[in-house]
Chain A
Amino acid sequence: MKLTLTDLHQKISDCSWDAQQLADALSAIGHETEVVNDQTVDITLTTNRADCKELDTLLFDLAGVSNLTFTGTKPDTTAAKTVTITIDEVNKILGTQLEADALNWLTRLGFTVKSSGVGVPAYRTDIAGVSDIAEEVARLYGFNNIKPVELSHETAPASDSYYKTLSVKKALAEAGLTETLTYTFTSEQNSWQLDKPHNNDEPYLRSSLLYGLLKTMAKNPYIKRGGFFEVGQVFLNQELEYVGVVIFGYKDAGREMLLQKAEQAIQSTEKIEIIQIDQAVLDKYDVKQSHVYFFETATKSSTQSTEPFALNYDLHPIKPISKFPPTVRDFTVPGITAEKAGEITKLAIKQFPELLIAELVDSYTNPQTNELSVTFRFIFQKMETSFTDEEINAFSQRLAGFLKPYGAGTIQ
């Protein structure tokens, strides 16, 4: 419904609001509003106040809450029922310390207030009991005038399943894997099927985390080797929380080491079966990487810690992502100290605006010389176009030049 300032000023005589102030006042009491122009506000009434479809009723309510003078035609304020209530009950719900006469504010909305309780006007069919009256008092007092009060501090009970799952996630990330979250819906057949799917090609609930992990790989064809994991619900003969791991691009020893780390992170009591994904499946999901290995297991089978802890991850503004494909280059720096390796990624991100991600992907200590070699991965992008080959080479040389002082040998 539309409300003009002319209507407003006609029916609330002492109101001098402009359209924005009118919209804000209506919004404060639960209606959705949009300023159409400097004279008109469009209103979508809050679900439980159908009575306000009558313009006079809406303005009567608005005038009452705002303590202004209503001069239009009042709705039927005959008391239709009585709610027995005291100001103590109102204060208990609101957490306020209002005096008894606060109940008298209700008369501005057509309620009658007696020592025996509050008479509810006939037009307010939404008022049923004590909590509804408390809400009316809060509207009249102003929600923003309620002084916040801190909850009491208490000892938190154990939250075993939450912390077990979080421990699994943290350990997998520490093993070098990246957490992804993917959609529950799939084209892979399952007895759990949606009646009306969002996408007709994906009417089933997933029976495995594999499909989403393969889609994640397909989304990132430029990551030639690495690992992703997901923790989420799968729908087999029952709904269960699973953890799934996919590792790709590594050959033999490297793969075995990463799979072992992932298994150790999960600490499952169940035997974990690692499968290599067939090329036909990879093709179906448009996965470009090779040597793809996968396993999954129920998180309830994990013996990971259930002790509470806090993650040491920070949330920060993300660097914008270009719609053009990124370029990825790995650099191995020999003779570097572990301390320096940790600093490099942060310094590189600060120094090169083109860098989206700078991270450590591998390290090797020569057993004879005890010399550390570290491989960094740099992902860089341009927002307005793709890099040319010449630009990639030039940027790679700049990165190599940046890394050179940190190592003791030839950068590869």
Chain B
Amino acid sequence: MTGHLHPTTILIDKIVQYFRPYGFEVYTGPEVVSTFDSFDALNIPADHPARAGFDTFYLKDKPDSILRPHTTAAHLQEVLNRKPPYRLLVPGRNFRNESTDATHNHTFYQIDALAIDTKTNLANLIESLEGLFRTIISQELDFRIRGSFFPFTEPSIELDIRRNGTHWLEMLGSGMVNPSVISAFGLDPEVYQGYAFGLGIERVLAIKCEMNDIRGLLSGDYRLLGQFTAETK
């Protein structure tokens, strides 16, 4: 009988396989997290405008408990028990209480990467991202990097890709881990540094699988799910 894996599972594994030779470990954290792990530890205090932008789902009768709005929230509890160097990948489901359309859903997947040591730098981040997209999307890609702002990274960049000279597509935000976040990890920011990025799985699938509505991924429609079968080589 022919069985099928979900394209989300397949893509996450392709990303894991890409980073494995570089020593990245994979772990998955809980989906219900604290506001401290999600925001305060990541340099987003209660009065920060970025906090409102996450459209967070709060739980009733569980003060300070939220559905994680990003997989970065899983980092804090995990890294507090670790000593650098470490390289981590966190794939998983996230939630934001926002309107849904063909390119947005309130439930979505991300894979987060974190590499901390004394030397990992922005040039390493750029190579990691370009290598990843060449491997999982196409060898024939142009890249464009733009400056950006995220509370948890400094410097912060966004990376765009372009295929066959067509229009640029925004792929993800990333950057060097902000020194205040390094401190929240229990490390000395004058010694340790590293990079972090959060990649939207649906965005990559929409491009790679030429899907025009990402909501189909959680619809359970067999006409979509049945199109992904193990390769017989």
Interface residues, chain A, CB within 8 Å of chain B?
A: 27-30, 46-49, 92-96, 129-132, 134-135, 138-139, 143-144, 146-159, 161-162, 165-166, 169-170, 172-185, 192-198, 203, 205, 212, 215-216, 219-220, 223, 228, 232-233, 235, 239, 241, 308, 310-319, 321, 326, 342, 345, 356-357, 359-363, 379, 381
Are B227 and A48 within 8 A (Cβ)? no
From A47, A176, A223, B50 is in contact (CB under 8 Å) with A47
Known: A94-B122, A216-B220, A310-B13. A178 touches B225 (CB 8 A): yes
From B6, B13, B57, A180 is in contact (CB under 8 Å) with B6
Bitwise interface map of B from 6 to 37 toward A, beta carbon under 8 Å scored 1, else 0 = 11111101101100111111111011100000
Interface residues, chain B, CB within 8 Å of chain A?
A: 1-11, 13-14, 16-17, 20-28, 30-32, 49-50, 57-62, 67, 87, 91, 93, 95, 97, 106-107, 115, 119-124, 126-128, 130-131, 136, 144-149, 154-157, 176, 178-179, 193, 205, 208-211, 216-233
Known: A184-B95, A312-B231. A151 touches B225 (CB 8 A): no
Known: A30-B146, A156-B25, A315-B14. A220 touches B220 (CB 8 A): yes
Q: In this complex, what residue of A is CB-closest to B148?
A: A30
Shortest distance from the beta carbon of A203 to any chain B beta carbon, whole Å: 8
Are A313 and B10 within 8 A (Cβ)? yes
Are B3 and A153 within 8 A (Cβ)? no
Shortest distance from the beta carbon of A320 to any chain B beta carbon, whole Å: 8
Are A173 and B230 within 8 A (Cβ)? yes
Q: Which of A135, A138, A326 has the most CB of B within 10 A?
A: A135
Known: A93-B121, A94-B121. A193 touches B2 (CB 8 A): no
Are A316 and B223 within 8 A (Cβ)? no
Are B226 and A359 within 8 A (Cβ)? yes
Are B2 and A134 within 8 A (Cβ)? no
- 22 residue pairs A–B, Cβ–Cβ below 8 Å: A30-B146, A30-B148, A92-B119, A94-B155, A96-B123, A146-B126, A149-B123, A149-B124, A154-B23, A154-B87, A162-B16, A175-B3, A193-B61, A198-B106, A311-B14, A313-B10, A315-B228, A356-B223, A357-B227, A360-B2, A379-B222, A379-B226
By a CB distance below 8 angstroms, the chain B residues around A151 are 22, 87, 115, 120, 124, 127-128
Expressed in whole angstroms, the Cα–Cα distance for A241 and B219 within the complex equals 20
Q: In this complex, what residue of B is CB-closest to A203?
A: B60
From A170, A216, A342, B232 is in contact (CB under 8 Å) with A342
Are B223 and A173 within 8 A (Cβ)? no
Shortest distance from the beta carbon of A16 to any chain B beta carbon, whole Å: 22
Are A46 and B149 within 8 A (Cβ)? yes
Q: In this complex, what residue of B is CB-closest to A129?
A: B179
Q: In this complex, what residue of B is CB-closest to A357?
A: B226
Q: In this complex, what residue of B is CB-closest to A48?
A: B149
Are B124 and A143 within 8 A (Cβ)? no
From A129, A134, A317, B210 is in contact (CB under 8 Å) with A317
By a CB distance below 8 angstroms, the chain B residues around A195 are 57-60
By a CB distance below 8 angstroms, the chain B residues around A94 are 121-123, 155
Shortest distance from the beta carbon of A180 to any chain B beta carbon, whole Å: 5
By a CB distance below 8 angstroms, the chain A residues around B93 are 184, 232-233
Shortest distance from the beta carbon of B134 to any chain A beta carbon, whole Å: 11
Closest 6 CB pairs of A and B: A95-B123, A176-B1, A154-B23, A216-B220, A95-B121, A148-B127
Are B124 and A95 within 8 A (Cβ)? yes
Expressed in whole angstroms, the Cα–Cα distance for A159 and B89 within the complex equals 10
Expressed in whole angstroms, the Cα–Cα distance for A212 and B219 within the complex equals 10
By a CB distance below 8 angstroms, the chain A residues around B11 are 315
By a CB distance below 8 angstroms, the chain A residues around B2 are 176, 345, 359-361
Known: A135-B154, A149-B121, A162-B27. A362 touches B219 (CB 8 A): no
By a CB distance below 8 angstroms, the chain B residues around A316 are 208-209, 227
Expressed in whole angstroms, the Cα–Cα distance for A319 and B212 within the complex equals 11
Expressed in whole angstroms, the Cα–Cα distance for A379 and B224 within the complex equals 11
Known: A159-B25, A317-B209. A143 touches B146 (CB 8 A): yes
Expressed in whole angstroms, the Cα–Cα distance for A196 and B95 within the complex equals 13
By a CB distance below 8 angstroms, the chain A residues around B179 are 129-131
By a CB distance below 8 angstroms, the chain B residues around A132 are 154
Are B122 and A180 within 8 A (Cβ)? no
Known: A144-B144, A318-B209, A318-B210. A179 touches B9 (CB 8 A): yes
Expressed in whole angstroms, the Cα–Cα distance for A159 and B78 within the complex equals 13
By a CB distance below 8 angstroms, the chain B residues around A159 are 16, 25-27
